[in-house]
Structures are given as C-alpha cells and as structure tokens.
Structure 1
Amino acid sequence: YKWQQQLHFDSEVGLFEGDTPFGEMNARCWNSNPVIMEQRRDSVDTFCRHNYEGVIPFSVGHRVPPSVSISLVPSNSQPSPGALLCSVMDFYPAEIQVRWFQGQQELSGHV
C-alpha cells in the first residue's frame, strides 16, 4: 500500500513476518496455512538460493564510492565570506556520514 512493504518471507526462519499491523495479520494467516508455507519454502529453494550467487556482485557486494564537490556559496550580506557547500552524490549503498574538520578537530553544531 503506497509503496510500503507490508510483510516479507524470512527464509532463515521459514515464516512470513509482518512489517505493518496489516502485514502482521496476513503473516499470521499465511503462516498457519500449510499449503502456502510449503509453496513459499519450495520457492526459496528453487529460485532464491539458486540465483543468489549470481546476484551478489550486483546487489549485496555492489559498492559505488561517492562523488564529492565543495563549493563556496557567496554571502548575501557583506563582508561575510560566505559558506562552504559540500555535495556528495552518486554513491551506493545509501548509508553515508559526512563530517567537517578544521585541522585535526571535528566541527560540531551548526556546520
């Protein structure tokens, strides 16, 4: 619903797990149905485990280093020198931490 994942099948546990209250309700229903559970476990063995090794280089092991640029944004008021703008783009995976240093000292607060 609205691109939100409702539930997923955890192949390590062998059960559906809900990601939302609606998904939890469906997970309980599906987990109690032996036909659905047998089909899903068979799917994991047939498709997931079989294809996992071929997909790793393009998913789990895929890394793209960030492209970083620093530019000076002029100040609206004189004589302030302006501000530095750091742009970090085109990287994967999405988790990244950007920190500012002055010499060896990390800057904190409003940077």
Structure 2
Amino acid sequence: LPDIGHACGHNLIATTSLGVFLAVAEALEESNLPGRVRLLGTPAEETIGGKITLIKAGAYSDVDACLMMHPTSSSHFPDHSLGDAFDKTLATSTSSATFRGKSAHA
C-alpha cells in the first residue's frame, strides 16, 4: 500500500484459506473419499518460526498434504520471476487483480 510498505493481504490469506478448506471438505464428503481436512492459522506469521511452533505442538503430525496461499505484489520480484528463494513448492499458480478505490491497512 502506498506509504505503508509491507501489506501482504492478511484478509486474502484468511478468506482464501477458509474457502479452500470448505471446498476440499465438501469434495471429500461428496465423493465419499476418506480423509480429514484441517484448517490451521499460523501464529507469528510475520516472523520466522510460526509454523515451527505448530510442528512442535503436533499440528502436522498426521498431515499428508499442506496448502498455503500468500499474495504479493509483482513489484517485490523482478520481471518474470515467481515466489521466494526460501520457499519450496511442488506447484505454483499465479493470478492478478486490479484494485480500484482507496487503499487501507487494518
């Protein structure tokens, strides 16, 4: 956001995570596939170590797959680059949106 700096869209992280959680849970139920879906929020997401806290608490002990979404601005990365040097992913997808209106940060 202008004049604010870091504004990574926590509202987008939360709503996207909830939407995917509900969609996967419904897909499992409708297709009669075994499995359990768990929605986890990350404490201390802004600093390194939030997921380590969850791992130590056993939150990932029986997890077979993990999905995560984190929006960013293309201005953070050079042209034609994706992601972050410290992230390891099996798949990445991108989309873009244009916001019109007054920007705000909660």
Q: TM-score, normalised by structure 2?
A: 0.23
Higher-Rg member (1/2): 1
The structure carrying a bigger strand percent of its residues is 1
